[in-house]
Amino acid sequence: MSNAERPIDRLGRPMHDLRISVTDRCNFRCTYCMPREVYGRDYAFLPRAELLTFEEIARLALLFTEHGVRKIRLTGGEPLLRRDLPALVRMLAALPGVEDITLTTNGALLARNAGALAEAGLDRVSVSLDSLDDATFARMNDVGFPVGAVLEGIAAAQAAGLTPIKVNMVVRRGINEADVLPMARFFRARGHILRLIEYMDVGHTNGWRMDDVVPAAEIIARIDADMALVALAPHYPGEVAHRWAYRDGGGEVGVIASVTQPFCGDCTRARLTADGQLYTCLFASAGHDLRALLRSGSTDAELSAAIAAVWRARDDRYSELRTQATISGRELPLIDPQRVEMSRIGG
């Protein structure tokens, strides 16, 4: 498929990134993603038979590359809970057109898997870590997991060459905003890129309130007052993070500000859930069932046409609408209060 034939959505956005969730399960119960009161012992996760096989994922990924996808990110849940994940990485790394394969993980299982992932062809990792303080981090992950074990995973990833490593920190008012500067100093000193993420209203189970959001401007001001920053241009159109360099040349930091500085207009990301639902927005309420097409005997041409049709019909801009409503003081007419949860769509 030529560049001219690649699908463009209703707002003029091409497809460039594919985020693939390989499982809806996680070994953490982070309060902003999988709160324990919802995802308790009796929660019904997807049965194995409903998950896409690695062969099915690779088949779909190839079709997405023909529509312009160049970057693939593996997510979850916690993707390292999916057995034999390096085998999938190896399949994806062999696809023509794929320029970058990354993994987002909570880091709990990274130390034992980093080498195999790198050998299979993984390029980079992003590791979620919300504080360097054990008490704060344990309160946020809600399973008592220690900071030191995540740092061991990061060190293993660095040793395996899965760099540059990005560390994702969700910042919540009254919980961990005091940890922004310690995190920035710590990871700057180690050559890793800290990504500070505004607390988002993904799904409907995390009790999101605007009052809990620490705006990106405030986050950057805190860091800049201690370590001077200068804005950087994005690597490519549609890049999620606003990037900042330390003026003394000591690396960079970024903010993901979908609440106060929405980037819907440049969004180039498609999302595939572990059970084969194609979502065109992180805040969507309904997906498009590619698994049914796969398992009913559809040809590659039919699958490709279905993917292109979904993308061409795409007009999502939830974050822009939410921000406009917040500024004007109006109630946001939510598309659906049952929006897909972060643990299914993978962020």
Tens digits of residue pLDDT in 235-274 = 877 788 899 999 999 999 999 988 777 777 788 999 999 9
CA dist., res. 209 & res. 332, Å (int): 13
Architecture of domain 3-345: Alpha-Beta Barrel (3.20)
Task: Look up residue 8 and give its DSSP letter.
Answer: B
Query: Residues in the chain with pLDDT < 50?
Result: 1-4, 333-336
What pLDDT, on the 0 to 100 scale, is given for residue 334?
47
Please give the C-alpha separations between residue 73 and each of 103, 270, 346, in angstroms, as whole numbers: 5, 10, 9
What pLDDT, on the 0 to 100 scale, is given for residue 337?
54
What pLDDT, on the 0 to 100 scale, is given for residue 335?
45
What pLDDT, on the 0 to 100 scale, is given for residue 235?
86
What pLDDT, on the 0 to 100 scale, is given for residue 238?
74
Task: Look up residue 277 and give its DSSP letter.
Answer: E
What pLDDT, on the 0 to 100 scale, is given for residue 318?
67
CA dist., res. 201 & res. 120, Å (int): 35
CA dist., res. 19 & res. 270, Å (int): 6
- Cβ atoms of 274 and 21 within 8 Å: the answer is yes
**Phi then psi dihedrals of residue 195, to 5 deg:** -115, 115
* pTM, rounded to two decimals: 0.92
- Cβ atoms of 177 and 156 within 8 Å: the answer is no
* Radius of gyration from C-alpha coordinates of the chain: 19
What pLDDT, on the 0 to 100 scale, is given for residue 262?
74
**First and final C-alpha spacing in the chain:** 28
